[in-house]
Amino acid sequence: MQARPSPWRWIGWALLIGTLLIALTTAISLTAMFSHLPPDLLITVDGERIELGGLEAGHVWMVFGAVVMVIVVVVIVVPLALLFGVGVPLLLAALGVLAALLCAAVAVAVLGSPVILLGLLLWWAVRPKKVPAPPAPPMAPPPVPVIGQHTDNSTPFA
């Protein structure tokens, strides 16, 4: 019998397909937006002119790849940064509090050991004694079957 796949497997595939669909939709919408810009629109970056009216199909896939990369960074890097930036310090703080409570418990046990010992002795002296249970009556031995007599556990040939 084949084992059933884990639900996490389906969740992972759904997230991957959803991410790709979002990236593809973003790339197509950006390309459609850029293709409807006026032809005289110019962008200048560091003195270099960029014309947005001349985008082609290769630019769509470049935008698609960039959007996929951004989504992967947001999906993987941001949770890891939060985990290591917030989770690890909180874990260390919790371990520190636990160690402090353990040290305090040991200190209280050492300082209060005479009182604890007196309380234990007092409890042993005051508690009611257990009444011993009466002994069980001796059990009779099982009857010995006569040869040829039918019993529950005998065979037909006995």
pLDDT of 158 over the 60 cut: no
Given this model, what pLDDT does residue 153 score?
61
pLDDT of 144 over the 80 cut: no
Residue 43 φ then ψ, to 5°:
-120, 135
For residues 99, 101, 102 and 107, what is the CA-based torsion angle, rounded to 10 degrees? 130
Integer angstrom CA distances of residue 56 from 41, 43, 50, 66: 16, 17, 14, 16
25-39, 59-73, 90-104, 130-144: segment of lowest average pLDDT: 25-39
Given this model, what pLDDT does residue 122 score?
92
| Tokens encoding 59 | 């630019």
The Cα 55–Cα 37 span in angstroms is 10
Given this model, what pLDDT does residue 86 score?
92
